[in-house]
Amino acid sequence: MNDTIVAIATSSGQAGIGIIRISGKNALTIADKIFLSKNKKVVSTFKTYTTHYGWIVKNHDSSFVVSNSKKINNTNHDSRITNHEIIDEVILTVMRSPRSYTKEDIVEINCHGGIVSQRAILDLVLENGARLAEPGEFTKRAFLNGRIDLAQAEAVLDVIRAKTDNALKVSLEQLKGALSKQINNLGKELLNILSILEASIDFPDEEIDVLSLKIISGRLNKINKELINILDEAKTGRIFREGINVVICGKPNVGKSSLLNALLKRERSIVTPIAGTTRDTIEEIIDIKGIPLKIVDTAGILEPRDLIERKAVTRSKKYITQADLIILMFDASTKLSKEDKILIKKLKKKQVIAIINKIDLKELIEKDKITKLFKNVVSISAKKIKNINLLEDAICDLVYKGKVINYASNLVTNTRHIELLKKVQKFIATSLNSMDNKLSIEFIAQDIKEALLSIDELLGKKFSQDLLDKIFSEFCIGK
Ligand code: GDP
């Protein structure tokens, strides 16, 4: 925490701009040594949240840093330009402690987005005393310095990884602290109940009467209901965050690639009339009414002809095992084939939406057999983009199970949070049970204490180094 850290915050590769981020107590002095501003001022005199145009320069001598003086005189400035190698033309922003992302002094350098210039600036900052930031270290500092709690820190990652608009909305709510506030309030209520119980334990004169016990039981019941509700909605939250795995299956030429393209509303996989052209699996993320679907178009190969196909079949099998939903396609213009029957047999125990494709052609398929086998059957034409909306509705119905989803609500999306909230709920349920069974107050108080511990863990009021390492190792460097 005492080091000044630096990282390239933008993704590597060519881009319009690149951002080098420096945070820590020496951020400003390091920037002083490498930045030459157009208006001849030194970085340590810059006001917070101001941006400055200038150059990053190398090979400075001691005359470069004119500490304490607010402005560099003309001769000094000109000699700085001529005597030192210019690395890049930049815009530099200063954000002073404590009102910054990490609560420390931060300097951000917007340079040209080339790999070489970003790397050169990074090296220069390192040479001048900073150290390379670990993954997520800026956000970790924001947490350790108390600007955000752990649930909010984790939301940062979810914002970056959001796959759909709704996933982003949910993560931003969490980042703003909506979830933390709700959980915090639950914690406060529990603490309040605990203090009443503990007073009666410590001072037997203040023994709780039956009426008060009834009130406490009512309050615990309310908390229990709220927790059950949060956990119930978390199932949807998890879908927003992680998406669902969908595999499109069907015999060669049934129209799998065409369907994927219709869903994507743009050409992605090669669609040709020759059987078996989709030689390998193709993966795409599609946003269907806010649900991120991770769709895989399998090769559709049943009898591999060569090594490549064999590999593709093995891969398809793996995807099918992991799938949350299978879209099994049939060709309306042909009778059910041997291949269709093999697929039906293989997949009938899975969550399937059966698709009868090519309804624009003369129908020969035994439709009644399919409707008997599968609960969800949709007839479409992938080529003519007909009834694709019905398929989308069927997917939504399955995922939401007919529930209306309020996107703005505090959805818990993170597995760690869900597990901890389950624990909290379990302890509250036990405490209610103990009350019903007239067990001693000590038992009830103990359960509430345990519940509070889990709440503290969720918000990061208590944490282990291992937990922090695990959480922040998932971040990219520079965040
Ligand atoms: P895949 O092997 O299952 O991926 O099948 P493709 O998507 O490559 O489609 C095979 C052929 O069927 C192509 O010529 C498509 O244009 C055609 N096709 C796909 N869907 C339809 C449809 O709904 N109607 C008609 N008439 N042809 C279709």
Cβ(36)–Cβ(121) under 8 Å? no
**Could you report the per-residue pLDDT of 46-96, keeping only the tens digit for each?**
999 999 999 999 865 545 554 445 555 666 666 665 667 899 999 999 999
pLDDT at 166 over 90: no
Q: How far is CA 416 from CA 348, 422, 471, in A?
A: 33, 10, 10
Q: Which ligand 1 atom is the nearest neighbour of the CA of 261? A: 7
Residue for token digits 């700085």?
Answer: 80
First to last CA, the chain: 16
pTM (two decimals): 0.70
pLDDT the model gives residue 420: 96
Give Cα 233 distance to the centre of its chain: 17
Torsion (CA) 341, 347, 352, 357 in degrees, nearest 10:
-30
Strands (E), 24-124: 35-37, 50-58, 85-95, 106-113
Cβ(354)–Cβ(330) under 8 Å? yes
* Mode of pairing for the β-strands spanning 5-8 and 15-23: antiparallel
CA-based nearest residue to 347, from 312, 316, 384, 368:
316
Give the closest residue (by CA) to ligand 1 atom 24.
358
Q: How far is the CA of 331 from the centre of ligand 1 (A)?
A: 9
Radius of gyration of the chain (CA): 30
Q: How confident is the model at residue 220 (pLDDT cuts 50, 70, 90)?
A: very high
Pick from 248, 253, 298, 330 the residue to mutate for probing ligand 1's pocket: most ligand atoms within 8 Å of its CB.
253
Distance CA 404, CA 163 (A): 21
**Could you report the per-residue pLDDT of 324-366, keeping only the tens digit for each?**
899 999 999 999 999 999 999 989 888 999 999 999 999 999 9
Give the closest residue (by CA) to ligand 1 atom 10.
253
Find out whether the beta carbon of 300 lies less than 6 Å from any atom of ligand 1.
Answer: yes
pLDDT the model gives residue 50: 97
Which helix (DSSP H) or strand (DSSP E) does residue 83 occupy?
helix 74-83
Q: How far is CA 272 from CA 134, 331, 383, in A?
A: 47, 16, 12
- SS3 of 308-349: the string is HHHHHHHHHHHHHHHCCEEEEEEECCCCCCHHHHHHHHHHCC
- % of the chain with per-residue pLDDT over 70: 88
**Could you report the per-residue pLDDT of 180-199, keeping only the tens digit for each?**
999 999 999 999 999 999 98
Q: How far is CA 172 from CA 100, 148, 168, 409, 412, in A?
A: 18, 13, 6, 11, 12
What the block records as the tokens of 375 is: 């609960």
Give the closest residue (by CA) to ligand 1 atom 11.
273
DSSP state of 12: S
Peptide bond into 98 cis (omega under 30): yes
**Could you report the per-residue pLDDT of 288-317, keeping only the tens digit for each?**
877 888 888 776 556 677 777 777 778 778
**Could you report the per-residue pLDDT of 409-444, keeping only the tens digit for each?**
578 888 899 999 999 999 999 999 999 998 999 999
Q: How far is the CA of 340 from the centre of ligand 1 (A)?
A: 16
pLDDT at 269 over 60: no
pLDDT the model gives residue 68: 43
pLDDT at 267 over 50: no
Residue for token digits 């996989």?
Answer: 269
Give the closest residue (by CA) to ligand 1 atom 21.
383
**In sequence order, which residues have a C-beta less than 8 Å from that of residue 441 and are 6 or more positions away?**
197, 200, 201, 208
**Average per-residue pLDDT in the chain?**
86
* Residue 285 C-beta-side C-alpha neighbours within 13 Å: 14
DSSP state of 359: T
Q: How confident is the model at residue 108 (pLDDT cuts 50, 70, 90)?
A: very high
pLDDT at 406 over 60: no
Q: Which residue would you say has higher pLDDT here, 235 or 435? A: 435
pLDDT the model gives residue 348: 85
DSSP state of 49: T
